[in-house]
Chains A and B, each alone.
Chain A
Amino acid sequence: MKHLLLVILLSMIAHNSIAAFEENHRRYLSSSDVFRSIQSIFGYEGRTLCLDYEYASAHLSLGDNNVATGEPAISNPNSATVGQVTKCFSLLFSRVGNTEPLVKRDQISNFLMGFSTLSPKSEQTALLNPATSWREIPAEQRKLIIQRLTYRVLGSDERIKDFAIVQDPNEIRDQLFDSLETEAHGKSNLTQAVSVILLSLILRDEFLSY
């Protein structure tokens, strides 16, 4: 079931992230930058935890240069790119609350709700249990969570607009909200829903390029 969900998820979001390296005028992050940038979402800018596995193949899939030719090993982000980003994200997400450099156990709820250490304390009073059903959270609060997570990963609306991939940043948030309304996510809890939201956002060009 988990695998099916992943496939559905990837097919749903893949079209947003695929853009040829050589065709567009954006620059993509290098492989180690991708990994470290993903970590920064978890509040950690330190050592590259994702390098612990499969780095040799990962860096080529993520567009690093071929040593022999000096050119990018692949000219386009492809399914392998999506696969590597997803693997790194999944690895880190599974360590939330357990691995010290990432989000601490007592900070999980703040993290899932999109709060940061810099968010006003007054906003962080009504923290939700990570196992709370996504659907049971009031729609307005769900939208706020999506909004905060979008800001954390992609930055401000002005930045999203500059990329001009979407005309209105609300499109991204609405799409995420709607995708979690589908039957596939009927039983998702807060943790699972946030995992889907974050992965969808990090696979977007606004995150992977600059």
Chain B
Amino acid sequence: MKPTMILTLLFSLFSSLSMATLRASPETRLEKLSRSLRGLPASLEDRIQLKEALKNGTENIFFDEMTSNYLRTEQFEFKLTRKINELYRFKIDQRLLSEYDDKFFENQRSSYDVVERFKAHKSLIRKVVSQNLSWDELVLHKEYNFMSDDSSLSILSSEQSFFETLMKQNEQPRTLEQIILREKATYEMQPSNVTPLTYKFDPSDNRIAGLLTTPTFLERYVNTALNKNRKRAAAVFRILLCDPMVAAIPAKTEEAELKDLDLVFPSNNRDGVMTEDEIHKNVREADLHGSQPDCRACHEKLDPVGQVFAFAAAGLGPVASPGALSYRSRSGQKVMIPVSGVGELAQQLTKQPDYASCQVKHFWRWYVGQDIPLTAKRESELIQVFNSTHRRPKDFISYLVRSPEFEAKPRVPTENQRLFVRATAILKNCNSCHTQKDVTLMADWDLTDVPYSSNLKQRQLMIESLKEVLDTRNAGRNKSMPPKNSNWKLSPEDFKVLQRWLHSGAPDYHGQAQVAEEPL
């Protein structure tokens, strides 16, 4: 036998042995499956069935069946809808939650519908989840179904009037003939105490884009004359392209650095009382806006996307507002796609490779865990699966919960691994600035992507630069990062974690030091 063959065989043997060691016991896997999909421990019946399956050697069939069963439960739908609400940062209404629970678990689907469907966004999320529609429908869907309850007008009136206005706009003759033709819509009303309402818009209606054009989204990411829908645009980038952006404006001078020049989110200022006049004055004095490439890096993305919401100050307007999808993709390619409205924007977004990658990451975080690194190779495989399953959430989740990563044992981390997790959790805050492409004043560097480089010299340089900007050798007395005008401040406790991590050689996920230790 050739030596290469022996080596290959040995390697395969070693790999399968190590996989077996890492794989959790069937009992643990069942429990994890049940808890992550249903949020409940496996029932005694399920545990007994597992024992039987193990005895009969039908373990795989058993897990396939259990996965399908759990994915069909309403508990699964409940959990996934909550995750989506969290992703969009929609408030989970306490009243709805308790009522939902009351009715939902009595297996009265109709009552559950009533509670969930008071709001258009909730009914849409639920529809995508329960009908296993393509994940893209969250932002592409053109139909809203929700309930109107005469006894609780306070909840419903704004929701209903929002869509009523849109419908009326469709009925009125307008000057732009083209748009009248493109925005046909119909709706049905069924009289009863609880009235199900359907607002259905034409597939080509560019004013409509699923969750992005619900009252809840527009209220959650409120518009002002100053932020000009950039808050909404930032949410679109965060949710759909995993591009976090912060609003702090880099200052040119040390004096200006002390000022909190948050132009996009004025209410997020340190004291929360910055007025528009003050902002305008600061802008004029510092001559910041538009003059710094770092500002433009975000504004080139935010402004054109914000423009598509220009017709949506309080409700949606009669005419779709044009804008553009403009950003630099992860592969470094400049993307600039003019769009005629928010509907087309959503369509274009869902075609972007960065969108698929981002959505895969959401699912990975929810079902495998963000503590388990998603390598580029694995991500690429998962994107293929995501696409081949037509982006249907249940199908993709079904794949994920059968993956080796999901089936791995719960890990007991070493001290270095704990340090890595804590340090990267803190460094995640740096990424909102440092992963922005086209920002000339700062490095485009994902600080959580450890190890930073395969080249030792490069790693040393990067880690040394972190030590310097944090001034870890002098207890951070002269640290220059994060900047003083940053919304995010490094707490003394977090500083100590970073200091300890950097001086322990900046260990990675496996606990391996990237560079030599440097005792403090």
Residues of A whose CB lies within 8 Å of any CB of B are 20, 22-27, 29-30, 32-33, 36-37, 40, 45-48, 51-52, 55-56, 65, 67-68, 70, 75, 116, 118, 152, 155-156, 158-159, 161-165, 207, 209-210
Let me know if A56 and B94 touch, CB within 8 A: yes
Proximity bits, B235-267, A CB within 8 Å = 1, else 0? 000000000000000000000000000000000
Residue of A32, A152, A158, A209 most packed against chain B (CB within 10 A): A32
Let me know if B41 and A37 touch, CB within 8 A: yes
Which B residue sits closest to A23, measured CB to CB?
B418
Asked if A52 meets B98 with Cβ closer than 8 Å, knowing A47-B104, A155-B41, the reply is yes
Which A residues touch B411, using CB under 8 A? Answer: 25
Asked if A37 meets B98 with Cβ closer than 8 Å, knowing A25-B421, A162-B410, the reply is no
- 4 more contacts with CB within 8 A, not counting A24-B421, A29-B39, A36-B39, are A25-B413, A30-B82, A37-B39, A155-B47
Proximity bits, B93-107, A CB within 8 Å = 1, else 0? 010011001111110
Contact of B24 among A24, A45, A67, A162 (CB under 8 A): A162
Number of B positions contacting A (CB below 8 A): 48
Which B residues touch A116, using CB under 8 A? Answer: 44
Let me know if A155 and B98 touch, CB within 8 A: no
Q: Give chain B's interface secondary structure class.
A: helix
Let me know if B105 and A46 touch, CB within 8 A: yes
Which A residue sits closest to B425, measured CB to CB?
A22
A22 to chain B, nearest CB (A): 5
Let me know if A162 and B25 touch, CB within 8 A: yes
A159 to B495, CA, bound (A): 37
Which B residues touch A162, using CB under 8 A? Answer: 24-25, 27-28, 409-410
Let me know if A70 and B89 touch, CB within 8 A: yes
Let me know if A67 and B91 touch, CB within 8 A: yes
A152 to B79, CA, bound (A): 23
Which A residues touch B161, using CB under 8 A? Answer: none
Chain B 79-120 interface residues, beta-carbon cutoff 8 Å to A: 79, 82, 86-87, 89-92, 94, 97-98, 101-106
A65 to B24, CA, bound (A): 28
Proximity bits, B185-229, A CB within 8 Å = 1, else 0? 000000000000000000000000000000000000000000000
Let me know if A40 and B40 touch, CB within 8 A: yes
Residue of A29, A36, A56, A116 most packed against chain B (CB within 10 A): A36
A–B pairs, 14, beta carbons within 8 Å: A24-B418, A25-B412, A27-B36, A30-B39, A32-B82, A33-B79, A47-B104, A48-B98, A48-B105, A55-B94, A158-B25, A158-B26, A162-B409, A164-B412
Which B residues touch A152, using CB under 8 A? Answer: 44
Proximity bits, B33-44, A CB within 8 Å = 1, else 0? 001100111111
Residue B369 lies at the interface, judged by CB distance under 8 Å to chain A: yes
A104 to chain B, nearest CB (A): 17
Which A residues touch B48, using CB under 8 A? Answer: 118
Residue B65 lies at the interface, judged by CB distance under 8 Å to chain A: no
Asked if A159 meets B27 with Cβ closer than 8 Å, knowing A47-B102, A52-B98, the reply is yes
Residues of B whose CB lies within 8 Å of any CB of A are 24-28, 31-32, 35-36, 39-45, 47-48, 79, 82, 86-87, 89-92, 94, 97-98, 101-106, 369, 371-372, 409-413, 417-418, 421-422, 425
Asked if A51 meets B413 with Cβ closer than 8 Å, knowing A29-B35, A65-B86, the reply is no
The 5 closest A-B pairs by CB, nearest first: A33-B39, A158-B25, A46-B105, A47-B105, A210-B35
Q: Give chain A's interface secondary structure class.
A: loop
A163 to B28, CA, bound (A): 9
A182 to chain B, nearest CB (A): 29
Which A residues touch B41, using CB under 8 A? Answer: 37, 40, 155, 207
B397 to chain A, nearest CB (A): 15
A60 to chain B, nearest CB (A): 12
